[in-house]
Homo-oligomer: A and B are copies of this chain.
C-alpha cells in the first residue's frame, strides 16, 4: 500500500486534528511569539502539520519549518544505497540541530516517522543502520528548545494495532485510542494534563523523599536490581527550558523517571511488549541480561540484530540511562493495547532505556556519573505482573508498584 494516497482526513477527523494540534502547539511545545518552529512528520500527517503551522503562525511564530519524512525514500535507501553509506548524514542536518538549540527554537515531532509497512521485507540489519546524530540528544540535554512529541494516526499503524478490524474501522479505532490517551475527549485537554501531571508530581515527591539505594523488579522472566545514584531525581512529564519556557516533551506522558547508576544493574529483564526501533525494525520477545551495569546478553524472538547494532554504537549504549515507572491507571495502561509505538507503549508500563541519560534527572554532583551515549532505546519491562520495590540504603524494602498500583 502506498501511504501517500491517504493523507486527507475525513470530515470527522478535522475537528480532532485541530484539538490535537492545539494541544501540541499550545501546551506540548508551548510555542512563543517570534520563535522558529520545526515540525517533523511523515507524509501521512499533512492535515496535522498544516494545522500546527496555522496555529503556530497565529501565535506569532517567526517561521514554521515543516520537514516531511518520506518513508518510501527511506526504504529506497535501505534497499539500494551502498552499504557503507547507510549511517551517513549530511553536515547540514547536524548544523540545523545545533542551530535549533542556539536559536532557542520550538520543536514538534509526530511519530511514527517511518510506518511499519515502509520497511517490510528489508534486511533488518540494513534497515536498522541509520544515522544517529549526537546533536539530537544534546538538544534534549541542553534544554535549549521547547519541544514535544505527539502521535500521528495513520492507516498502516492502525491496522497493526487493530488487525481484527477492517481498514476504516481500525483507523477510527486508533483515533479513538489517541483521543483517549491524549485526553482530547474533555472540554479542556490542557487542564486535564495539568491535573494528571500534578498527581504524578506528588508520587515523584514521595520517591524522592525515600531516596532509595536501588530498585528491585520481580515478574515473569524478570529478576533485576537497578542501583540509583545518590541524587537521582524522579521527574515527571513537564520540563522547563533554560529560557524558562514550560513544555511537555511527550504527549501522552504518564511516567515518572530518573537516571540510574550505570554501574549497578544486575540480573535479567524480559520485555513483555514489542519494541519498535527508530529504524522501523520490530524487536519481540526481548530478554536482556545485565552484569555490572552492562547488558552482556541480548536475546529476542525477532529483531535482535537491529538492537545489537544500536548497542554496538558506543560503550554507553549497553548501560541503562533511564528507569521509568508507570502505574496501571494511566490512560494508555487502561486500554490494554499494544501500540507498537514507544511514545504510547512506554506509558502503559514501567520501562527502561539503554543509552544516554537525561542529566537533569540527577543533581550537579552526580552529573558526571550518569550514562552517556548517542543511543537511547526505551523498552517496556512489564505490566501489572511485575512488582517494583524500593530498597533503602539501610536495607528496608518499600513496595512501589503492586498489581500496577502505586503503593506510596
By a beta-carbon cutoff of 8 Å, the part of chain A in contact with chain B is 2, 4-5, 7-8, 34, 36, 43, 46, 49-50, 53-54, 57-58, 60-66, 68, 70, 72-73, 76-77, 79-82, 85, 88-92, 95-96, 99, 103
Do A90 and B85 touch (CB < 8 A)?
no
Give Cα distance in the complex from A58 to B79, angstroms: 9
Do B76 and A57 touch (CB < 8 A)?
yes
**Other-chain residue from B8, B60, B70, B99 in contact with A82 (beta carbon distance below 8 A):** B60
Can you identify 10 A-B contacts, CB atoms within 8 angstroms?
A4-B8, A46-B72, A50-B73, A53-B72, A54-B80, A57-B77, A61-B81, A64-B77, A66-B73, A92-B95
Do B63 and A90 touch (CB < 8 A)?
yes
Do B88 and A62 touch (CB < 8 A)?
yes
Do A72 and B50 touch (CB < 8 A)?
yes
Give Cα distance in the complex from A88 to B57, angstroms: 13
Do B43 and A46 touch (CB < 8 A)?
yes
Do A88 and B63 touch (CB < 8 A)?
yes
Give Cα distance in the complex from A79 to B64, angstroms: 13
Do A76 and B53 touch (CB < 8 A)?
yes
Give Cα distance in the complex from A287 to B173, angstroms: 58
Do A46 and B64 touch (CB < 8 A)?
no
**Other-chain residue from B54, B70, B79 in contact with A66 (beta carbon distance below 8 A):** B70
Q: How far is the CB of A358 from chain B (nearest CB, A)?
A: 25
Q: How far is the CB of A126 from chain B (nearest CB, A)?
A: 12
Give Cα distance in the complex from A355 to B5, angstroms: 40
Q: How far is the CB of A293 from chain B (nearest CB, A)?
A: 36
Known contacts A50-B73, A96-B96; 8 further A-B pairs (Cβ under 8 A): A4-B4, A7-B7, A54-B79, A57-B82, A63-B77, A63-B81, A90-B99, A92-B92
Do A5 and B2 touch (CB < 8 A)?
no
Residue in B closest to A6 when the chains form the complex, CB atoms? B5
Q: Find chain B residues with CB under 8 A from A53 CB.
A: 70, 72-73, 76-77
Do A57 and B81 touch (CB < 8 A)?
yes
